């Protein structure tokens, strides 16, 4: 079942649930808490039960107030003085489980719902919602010479609002305005000096007067301490460096050692000031550090991987670095500017030794930061790497970092990336939940062990190993104890080198700003009894496998107490398919052929899995079926269950074999060239029929392979590779022979490929 937190997050993933009675939060009037004070929060939604509670990742006192009911929960939340300002997540607990997390901001400002007039003393944080072309206004009393800041946090909350601010005097004359800027990650901040005593109006609207949902915002008004960037943003492990917070404080530096592995190191706030905004942090990693020397026209870089820290301190500036390299070396250049809050629009230019441009990169999908994979040309021993200001935005805050690594060969110790689709676990006793964990390997091919960062007592986890080269795994979590306390936990993955990586939630809005929040998973037991439902496999085929280009029938049996109610079935896999419009690409994704529903009074059904022709990056995939018990009108899900996870191999339906594998020899003829005899057979499996096309790749120029077709009634082939006379005697490697066929005659363009066979062709000198 799909459920989205309507007003706080708009996350593009399926929220797998185990209980239909989980609390659903539709709105929260105030998305913030004041340090050392009491703040009143009002949640609107459904499924809150009789005594809802708040699940917070820190110690606080949340008191449920009179007037709360099944669809409204009001809390007085008292925070101690030692809570660090920043963004946090909270969830609502009920007898039915735990809600999706709600993002809140915590600082020293009083937190109030948005109103037309600000009666209290500044600073203050106002919370509200804006939609479409709506313009919201609020008024305050200003004093001549007063320094005022107004900041709107919207994009940071996952809001669709692109905030624009205007400040007007009592005559409605504009004295300042601001709009979304990259270094605030799409949000805005206005700073002004009040020219005279009087009433001032703040107006807020969407950049295009078309704010989408969710349109939540938090408007901070007054004075507070903030930072926009951490410099440097990355520090090599084991080093101690002075880390600077760039904001409105004259001095905000911290000496920070890095003693942990790759990942985020969260910084403490400086003792001076009342800070507000996202928590400062830097990345720790294993690489060489280089700091730009502005006085050098061109700076030499040695030792890969390397992280270069620089600043485009003037408009249209260009920083030059000289990198020693080798021909055919494959390099990856990754520039971070917009993604670390820098206002500069950076570009990347690669030049040869003579200064001629040979490669360029600017925007990447979803960011204005460049990314370039580049192969060094022949006869090239060094290149100039140039970071440029493309839009003339250079200045004192235009920092960047440039990562350079050699990706010529796979690195077995590469840092992996792990993601999941869940943010919560709500489990009844002896109920299971199945969800995927995907891996982006970045060259690492080994297995990955998964475990909870904090394991809730009474939970059992299965499928906690991602096999070598696999794209992911389906995790099964089972609650087998009554006495389980709610908690905030997470998942960790460890590769065979001992490197630990946090599993992140896909498309989390704070992935860049406070990335550790995207690893939080809220867990709660379910005390409310739901209808019994279970699903199991039925009469599975022997030697079951995923066959590219073919269909796979998966029969199931569904048992439930409410036999008169229908059950909806849906497919879950461990495939980390590429996305199109934020959905798995239908051309390459494993998918159900059609929606399947188990009719009332029925128990048996089957779901058909359609496998694309490939290629598949992995050799095995996990598959499960989610069964949702529907209400009589099919408008609600009453209970959910999951079939045991199947780990299925990929079985190619087309095999090519040679009569005599190995190397092939022919004698050079200066007039006719040469001919190699290649004999073998093709084997069609799993219902594959029709003509088979053979092809040889990697042949030298002028060489060709024939015949190309093995007819539908044939298996054997007697082929030959011919060399022109221009090819001289030598040993020719890197040649591969493969075959392809059409699984479905109705889709002739979709061809399934066999595994390729390596050929070595030895052209011997002519006989004397």
Q: How many domains does the chain have?
A: 5
* β 604-610/591-592 pair status: antiparallel
Q: How confident is the model at residue 493 (pLDDT cuts 50, 70, 90)?
A: very high
In this structure, of 28-32, 331-335, 634-638, 655-659, the range with the lowest mean pLDDT score is 634-638
Q: Identify whether the C-beta of residue 598 lies closer than 8 Å to the C-beta of residue 630.
A: no
**Residues 695, 745 within the same domain:** yes
Residue 255, pLDDT score: 67
Residue 11, pLDDT score: 30
Residue 260, pLDDT score: 56
Residue 5, pLDDT score: 28
- What tens digit of pLDDT does each residue of 55-83 get? 999 999 999 999 999 999 999 999 999 99
More confident residue, 705 or 483: 705
Query: Could you tell me the sign of the dihedral formed by the alpha carbons of 34, 38, 39, 42, in that order?
Result: positive
The two counts, helices (H) then strands (E), for the chain are 0, 66
Q: How confident is the model at residue 10 (pLDDT cuts 50, 70, 90)?
A: very low
- Which tokens go with 211? 């704010």
Give the list of residues 6+ apart from residue 463 with CB closer than 8 angstroms, or none. 473, 474, 475, 476, 622, 645
Q: Omega of the bond prior to 665 within 30 degrees of 0, cis?
A: no
The DSSP letter of residue 509 is T
Q: Identify whether the C-beta of residue 570 lies closer than 8 Å to the C-beta of residue 625.
A: yes
Q: Is 297 exposed, middle or buried (0-12, 13-18, 19+ CB in 10 A)?
A: exposed
- 432 CA to centre of own chain: 25
The DSSP letter of residue 470 is -
Q: Identify whether the C-beta of residue 310 lies closer than 8 Å to the C-beta of residue 295.
A: no
Domain boundary at 406, 429, 449, which? 406
Residue 300, pLDDT score: 93
Residue 18 included in any domain: no
- What tens digit of pLDDT does each residue of 719-761 get? 999 999 999 999 999 999 999 999 988 888 889 999 999 999 9
DSSP collapsed to 3 states, 183-252: HHCCCEEEEEECCCCEEEEEEEEECCCCECCCCEEEEEEECCECEEEEECCEEECCCEEEEEEEECCCCC
What is the percentage of the chain residues whose pLDDT exceeds 70?
Answer: 94
Residue 233 included in any domain: no
Q: Identify whether the C-beta of residue 49 lies closer than 8 Å to the C-beta of residue 28.
A: no
Residue 410, pLDDT score: 56
More confident residue, 439 or 580: 439
CATH number at residue 316: 2.60.120.380
Q: How confident is the model at residue 364 (pLDDT cuts 50, 70, 90)?
A: confident
C-alpha separations of 506 from 444, 682, 756 in Å:
21, 43, 35
Q: Identify whether the C-beta of residue 311 lies closer than 8 Å to the C-beta of residue 246.
A: no
Q: Identify the domain containing residue 636 by its residue range.
A: 533-649
**Residues 624, 668 within the same domain:** no
Residue 573 included in any domain: yes
Instruction: Find the mean pLDDT for residues 3-11.
Output: 29
Residue 261, pLDDT score: 58
* β 730-741/240-247 pair status: unpaired
- Which tokens go with 766? 């002519």
In this structure, of 292-301, 413-422, 444-453, the range with the lowest mean pLDDT score is 413-422
Residue 689 included in any domain: yes
pLDDT of 8 > 70? The answer is no
Residue 233, pLDDT score: 78
- What tens digit of pLDDT does each residue of 166-196 get? 999 999 999 999 999 988 889 999 999 999 9
pLDDT of 38 > 50? The answer is yes
Which is nearest to 731 in space by CA: 679, 664, 673? 664
**Residues 659, 692 within the same domain:** yes
pLDDT of 413 > 60? The answer is no
Which of helix, strand or coil describes residue 367?
A: strand
In this structure, of 75-89, 405-419, 483-497, the range with the lowest mean pLDDT score is 405-419
pLDDT of 2 > 70? The answer is no
Say how far apart CA 348 and CA 335 lie, in whole Å. 8
Q: What is the mean pLDDT of the chain?
A: 89
Which of helix, strand or coil describes residue 426?
A: strand
More confident residue, 243 or 155: 155
pLDDT of 466 > 90? The answer is yes
C-alpha separations of 152 from 202, 216, 219, 247 in Å:
11, 10, 4, 16
Residue 257, pLDDT score: 59
Residue 719 included in any domain: yes
**Residues 668, 587 within the same domain:** no
- Which tokens go with 397? 């805050």
**Residues 100, 173 within the same domain:** no
Task: For tokens 């459904």, name the residue.
Answer: 46
Q: How confident is the model at residue 414 (pLDDT cuts 50, 70, 90)?
A: low
C-alpha separations of 313 from 234, 316, 343, 546 in Å:
19, 9, 11, 56
Q: How confident is the model at residue 18 (pLDDT cuts 50, 70, 90)?
A: very low
pLDDT of 14 > 50? The answer is no
Residue 89 included in any domain: yes
More confident residue, 241 or 464: 464
Say how far apart CA 260 and CA 66 lie, in whole Å. 47
**Residues 78, 168 within the same domain:** no
Residue 4, pLDDT score: 26
pLDDT of 1 > 70? The answer is no
Q: How confident is the model at residue 20 (pLDDT cuts 50, 70, 90)?
A: low
**Residues 630, 686 within the same domain:** no
Domain boundary at 391, 406, 421, which? 406
**Residues 630, 697 within the same domain:** no
More confident residue, 143 or 367: 143
Say how far apart CA 498 and CA 161 lie, in whole Å. 42
Q: Identify whether the C-beta of residue 405 lies closer than 8 Å to the C-beta of residue 346.
A: no
The radius of gyration of the chain's CA atoms, rounded to the nearest angstrom, is: 31
Query: Could you tell me the sign of the dihedral formed by the alpha carbons of 521, 522, 524, 528, in that order?
Result: negative
Q: How confident is the model at residue 423 (pLDDT cuts 50, 70, 90)?
A: very high
pLDDT of 467 > 60? The answer is yes
Residue 289, pLDDT score: 81
Q: How confident is the model at residue 7 (pLDDT cuts 50, 70, 90)?
A: very low
- Give me the DSSP letters along 288-354: EEEE--TT-SSEEE-SSSEEEEEE--STT-EEEEEEE--TT-EEEEEEESGGGT----EEEEEE-TT
More confident residue, 479 or 682: 682
**Residues 99, 128 within the same domain:** no
Residue 396, pLDDT score: 87
Q: Identify whether the C-beta of residue 77 lies closer than 8 Å to the C-beta of residue 42.
A: no
**Residues 28, 98 within the same domain:** yes
**Residues 317, 342 within the same domain:** yes
Residue 518 included in any domain: no
Residue 258, pLDDT score: 55
Query: Could you tell me the sign of the dihedral formed by the alpha carbons of 483, 451, 13, 163, in that order?
Result: positive
Which of helix, strand or coil describes residue 130?
A: coil
Q: Is 528 exposed, middle or buried (0-12, 13-18, 19+ CB in 10 A)?
A: middle
CATH number at residue 52: 2.60.40.10
Say how far apart CA 696 and CA 79 lie, in whole Å. 70
Domain boundary at 196, 222, 248, which? 222
Say how far apart CA 594 and CA 607 lie, in whole Å. 8
Q: Identify whether the C-beta of residue 26 lies closer than 8 Å to the C-beta of residue 45.
A: yes
Say how far apart CA 695 and CA 717 lie, in whole Å. 12
CATH number at residue 602: 2.60.40.2410
Residue 270 included in any domain: no
Instruction: Find the mean pLDDT for residues 604-618.
Output: 93
**Residues 98, 135 within the same domain:** no
C-alpha separations of 762 from 113, 226, 657, 677, 729 in Å:
80, 70, 20, 12, 8
């Amino acid at each position: 079942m799909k459920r989205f937190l309507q007003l706080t997050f708009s996350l593009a993933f399926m929220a797998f649930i185990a209980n239909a009675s989980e609390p659903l939060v539709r709105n929260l009037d105030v998305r913030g808490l004041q340090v050392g004070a009491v703040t009143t929060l009002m949640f609107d939604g459904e499924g809150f039960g009789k005594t809802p509670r708040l699940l917070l990742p820190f110690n606080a006192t949340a008191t449920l107030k009179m007037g709360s009911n099944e669809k409204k929960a009001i809390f007085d939340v008292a925070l101690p003085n030692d809570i660090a300002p920043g963004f946090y997540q909270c969830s609502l607990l009920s007898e039915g489980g735990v809600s999706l997390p709600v993002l809140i901001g915590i600082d020293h400002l009083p937190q109030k719902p948005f109103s037309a007039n600000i009666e209290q003393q500044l600073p203050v944080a106002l919370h509200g919602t804006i939609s479409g072309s709506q313009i919201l206004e609020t008024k305050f009393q200003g004093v001549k010479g007063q320094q005022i800041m107004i900041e709107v946090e919207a994009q940071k909350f996952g809001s669709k609002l692109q905030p624009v601010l205007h400040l007007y005097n009592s005559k409605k004359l504009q004295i300042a305005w601001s709009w979304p800027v990259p270094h605030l990650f799409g949000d805005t901040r206005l700073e002004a000096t009040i020219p005279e005593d009087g009433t001032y109006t703040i107006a807020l609207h969407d950049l295009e007067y078309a704010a989408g949902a969710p349109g939540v915002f938090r408007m901070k008004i007054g004075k507070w301490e903030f930072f926009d960037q951490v410099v440097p943003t990355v520090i090599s492990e084991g080093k101690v460096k002075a880390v600077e917070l760039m904001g409105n404080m004259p001095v905000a530096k911290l000496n920070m050692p890095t003693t942990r592995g790759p990942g985020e190191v969260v910084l403490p706030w400086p003792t001076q000031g009342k800070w507000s905004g996202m928590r400062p942090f830097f990345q720790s990693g294993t690489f060489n550090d280089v700091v730009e020397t502005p006085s050098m026209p061109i700076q030499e870089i040695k030792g890969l991987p390397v992280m270069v820290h620089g600043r485009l301190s003037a408009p249209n500036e260009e920083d030059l670095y000289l990198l020693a390299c080798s021909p055919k070396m494959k390099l990856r250049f990754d520039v971070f500017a917009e993604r670390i809050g820098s206002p500069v629009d950076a570009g990347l230019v690669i030049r040869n030794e003579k200064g001629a441009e040979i490669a360029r990169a600017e925007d990447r999908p979803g960011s204005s930061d460049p990314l370039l994979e580049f192969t060094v040309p022949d006869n090239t021993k060094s290149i100039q790497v140039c970071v440029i200001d493309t839009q003339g935005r250079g200045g004192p805050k235009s920092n960047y970092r440039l990562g350079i690594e050699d990706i010529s060969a796979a690195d077995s110790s590469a840092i992996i990336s792990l993601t999941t689709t869940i943010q919560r676990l709500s489990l009844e006793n002896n109920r299971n939940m199945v969800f995927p964990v995907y891996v982006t390997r970045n060259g690492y091919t080994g297995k990955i062990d998964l475990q909870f960062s904090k394991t809730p007592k009474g939970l059992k986890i299965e499928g906690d190993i991602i096999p070598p080269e696999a794209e992911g795994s389906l995790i099964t979590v089972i609650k087998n104890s009554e006495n389980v306390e709610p908690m905030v936990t997470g998942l960790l993955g460890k590769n065979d080198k001992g490197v630990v990586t946090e599993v992140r939630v896909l498309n989390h809005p704070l992935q860049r700003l406070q990335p550790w929040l995207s690893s939080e998973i809220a867990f709660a037991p379910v005390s409310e009894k739901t209808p019994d439902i279970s699903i199991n496999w039925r009469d599975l085929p022997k030697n079951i496998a995923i066959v590219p280009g073919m269909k796979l029938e998966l029969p199931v049996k569904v048992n439930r107490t409410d036999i008169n109610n229908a059950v909806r079935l849906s497919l879950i896999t461990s495939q980390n398919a590429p996305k199109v419009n934020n959905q798995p690409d239908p051309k390459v994704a494993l998918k159900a052929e059609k929606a399947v529903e188990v009719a009332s009074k029925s128990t048996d059904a089957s779901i058909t899995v359609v496998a694309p022709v490939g290629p598949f990056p992995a050799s095995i995939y996990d598959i499960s079926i989610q069964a949702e018990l529907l209400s009589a009108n099919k408008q609600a899900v009453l209970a959910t269950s999951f079939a045991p996870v199947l780990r299925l191999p990929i079985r190619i339906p087309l095999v090519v074999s040679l009569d005599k594998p190995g190397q092939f020899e022919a004698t050079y003829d200066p007039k006719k060239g040469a001919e190699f005899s290649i004999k073998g057979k093709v084997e069609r499996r799993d219902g594959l029929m029709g003509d088979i096309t053979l092809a040889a790749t990697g042949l030298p120029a002028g060489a060709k392979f024939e015949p190309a077709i093995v007819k539908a009634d044939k298996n054997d082939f007697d082929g030959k590779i011919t060399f022109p006379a221009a090819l001289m005697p030598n040993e020719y490697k890197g040649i591969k022979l493969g075959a392809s066929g059409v699984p479905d005659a109705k889709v002739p363009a979709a061809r399934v490929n066999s595994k390729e066979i390596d050929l070595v062709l030895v052209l011997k000198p002519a006989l004397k």
